[in-house]
Structure 1
């Protein structure tokens, strides 16, 4: 950045008013027309939105990786404990039909039911994380700048419109085969 003769900050792109709504009734000294000023302001807002979208998608993906990792760990530990409970049987590992046929104590049966519930919850967590991944993909795929009314007088970035210009969709091929296989097993 440099200072021009009027001691205003100049970042070699536009005057300060091009990055705010202050210019709507006037135009910048550096813009040849009001339309140019509006175009520059819109581009500046879009660039800011793109930078924010990229940062949000990155942060969401970091958290999603943790959620999915912990969920997989819960499933793994629940399966391992389930195996330990029924290990006294000769036909380990057992499928769910065989588990119902063996004689277990009430405590062992309750433990197996709890572990089954834990694996079910883990699967739901993976599904929710997958849905969040689709949302993060939408954020990362923003192609245009458009807002929509959220509450009276409040506008938010319209992710549905902004990502549809190139018909970008969440594609499971963008994830590793290992992650998709784990999800498909749930």
Structure 2
């Protein structure tokens, strides 16, 4: 306060020292009225001191409180934001851990299901292969039986044909057993 008062007094002294000579003719009339300088300076100092007192004791402390309150609120908000960020990081880590666990479980379930499907497929393929093998054996047996019958029928027809041809060619009818033996010899030679 002393510093500001000193500056104010110095300005007033300079104004008094320049006096009416500093004012231009026809210029500012308030500068030519030197008889009121002392009262003006007195009231300037009184007003300044009163305003300074009011500002320093009433206004500035309230402003300081408001600024401090804002600073505390900002610090509180920053602290809360930091806590929320830490909580969000914890939640994110928990989420990622749960996601990793879920992926692991899903992979295990997928592998188990895949293995089960493979085992079921292999079992079904074995059953189908056995059924097919049994069917093939039955069909081969039927084919062999049919071939045996066909061969028997063919041999019988060949025997009858041999007898008929021999009868026509040489006018002799061979015995059925002899014709059959000749046909069997020819058929075995071709096999």
Tell me, yes or no, whether TM beats 0.5.
no
Instruction: Give me the TM-score of the superposition, normalised by structure 1.
Output: 0.31
Greater relative contact order (CA < 8 Å, ≥ 6 in sequence): 1
The structure number with the bigger radius of gyration is: 2
Instruction: Give me the TM-score of the superposition, normalised by structure 2.
Output: 0.30
Name whichever structure is richer in strand by fraction. Answer: 1
